[in-house]
Amino acid sequence: MLTFRSQKSLLPDLSLYHIIFSNNKITAGDVLGEIVTLTKACRVDISGNQLGPTGMQSFIGALGKKCRIEELDIGSNGIGDTGLGYIVNGLSGLPQTSGFHISHNNITSASGDVLSTFISSHPTLKALDISDNNVRHEEDT
CATH code for position 30: 3.80.10.10
User: What is the tens place of the pLDDT at every residue in 92-126?
Assistant: 888 889 999 999 999 999 999 999 999 999 999 99
Closest CA to 84 of 108, 67, 49, 62: 108
**What confidence score (pLDDT) does residue 7 get?**
52
Per the structure, how many domains does the chain have?
A: 1
Task: Please check whether residue 8 lies inside any domain of the structure.
Answer: no
Percentage above 70 pLDDT, the chain = 88
The pLDDT confidence band at residue 141, using thresholds 50, 70 and 90, is very low
The bridge status of strand 43-45 relative to strand 18-20 is parallel
Whole-number Å distance between alpha carbons of 55 and 94 = 20
User: Is residue 105 in a domain?
Assistant: yes
Indicate whether 135 belongs to any domain.
no
The predicted-structure confidence for 7-31, as pLDDT tens digits, reads as follows 555 555 678 899 999 999 999 999 9
Per-residue model confidence (pLDDT) at position 71 = 96
Tell me if 138 is assigned to some domain: no
Residue 79 counted as domain residue: yes
Rounded CA separation 16/21 (Å): 13
In this predicted structure, what is the pLDDT of residue 58?
95
- Give residue 86's domain range: 14-129
Residue 72 — pLDDT band, cuts 50, 70, 90?
very high
Label residue 67 by pLDDT band (50, 70, 90).
confident
